[in-house]
Structure 1
Amino acid sequence: MDWDKLRIFHAVAEAGSFTHAGDRLSLSQSAVSRQISALEEVLRVPLFHRHARGLILTEQGEVLNRTVREVFSKLALTQAFLSESKERAAGKIKITTTTGFGLSWLSPRLHRFLEMHPDIEVTLLLEDADLDLGMREADVAIRLHPPTQPDLVQRHLANFPMPIYASPEYLERYGTPKTIKELADHQIIGFAGWHLPLPNVNWLLDLLRQEGLAHRGGRLAINNISAVATAIAAGTGIGSLPLYAASAHPNLVRILPEQNLPLVEAYFVYPEELRTSKRIAVFRDFLLTEISNLKNH
């Protein structure tokens, strides 16, 4: 099997059409189609079902695509390993984390990492759904839950509490609740979305329900932790935020400080093959330093 044809096949399988794959590969739609037909001829099996709305992999195509994805991911990993300097941290690093952590905490600090390591190029992918590190969708991840993907190196970074916050303006206008029962009369801002970025993201609303307190003010839910923090800071209502998200809004006022709080467990994870990587090590150390500074403030 020709490597170039396999590369084109993989692009088509991921894109779902000859046209989109051609755009990614800078090839014409007809050139991509010819390469796929030639590959099917060599293998003597159909790889795609062709229909008006696009392409669907056949059973044989699914098998081939799984193998090709694995091969190309291993090649990318090998290339990164071979090109890495033995003397200094250099090369590319693709980082993934949740949108909330990336927007409110990591992005504003990355300039320090880039200044410290001028030979490292960073790509930051913000996704509330976990990307597959084993398939090289990213090099490293900052997970805000215990990692479930097998065969990954994991380093516990921190446990972030999730205090309850309001803005000074909101409290001046509506008063400060002193108990959970009083809290039920206030506007509570919750989280909504298909992919929950944190296991306990709506713990405050859950607590009100468990206490039999129908929260009359729970009229706003947002599918982004950073946007929830911005809404609280703007005086829209009261809500619970992990410490890293609240740190972007230093004027927030913590309320009900005696309330027991859930913790957000943060982990730094990466494939076993990158255990000796210098650029991974310096980024891990950078995270630990920055998180230590946050906890000390």
Structure 2
Amino acid sequence: MGEPFSEQAPRMPAAPARSVREANHHSRSGADPFREPEPAPGRASREENVHLRSGTDLFTETRSREAEAQDSPFRAAREALRLQGPVVTFPDGARVVLGNDGGRPIHRGTVAVRGPCAPSREELMGPGLTEPQARALDFVLAWFGHPFDSVTSEPQSGAEPRWGAWPLSGTTLIAALAHWKQHEPEAFDARLGRLGFDATALTLFAEDPRMIAALARAGRERGAQRAQLETLVTHVLRPMLDSCAQAETAVDAPGGLFASARALALLFHAELRFGRRGVTRLVTLARERPEPPVAGEHAGERLAEDLRATGRSRDAFEVWRILTTPELADPS
């Protein structure tokens, strides 16, 4: 069965034949099919990121003199951020501890989607979400998203930073920062503007550990969190739902294929994990057996089987968590 969740790869010369047991590292007796493979000998695990030695090359300055000269008015503000090993300390004493992913500084996050430092349910529904949409988004972000103050990088897009709970990158990240700046200019300036943070030069700033730390700390601001959610809804989720409409009928309309919170969570998860290709696959499965109000959930079961059959056991398990959680049960 073909892989429905990735672009077709170019043909490569045939490799020497191997047995199924040799080809599948999960086939060994006692192997955990949901466990990440161990790092190769001599190679640090991606999780080994908080015990870096002070002074390691990863956290030294890498920007050119020309780049520093261009933003000299902001240099003093940046130099006030003290960098010692993986720890960035701000003038008011706040600290951000960075990690390492492929030689790039990142922050895995400390502010969960659910908790005292996160937006309320009312704020989550602020961008105009319906109750089922809000419940679905809350579940997907809480279980499969990132903390609001996470900053990671995307190697496939030139180490472009990815920020926040979804997380956002590229044009959506720029839109979120612009939204925050427009609605709370003083807060934006206090966290990023005074440092010369320019959303149009994200890759450049991704090389500076101090700016990564500043962007991470910005994600702890309630206004920045609301900007993340607003941008996610307007730039990602609504266009995705619109693309699934048929005969001008919304896919999540009452009585539709994905009207329930559980079915919507399946859609949101497919967008988060696989992008539009995964959403298209899920909607196609639902339309093959259009049996409202459970068509979307039945499609989720078939999607989970597709994922398992193509070796994506971890993704299949996430789909089953959505299908079986009591958190997404219809209100009685």
- TM-score, structure 1 normalization: 0.24
The structure showing larger relative contact order (alpha-carbon pairs under 8 Å, at least 6 residues apart) is 1
Structure (1 or 2) with the larger CA radius of gyration: 1
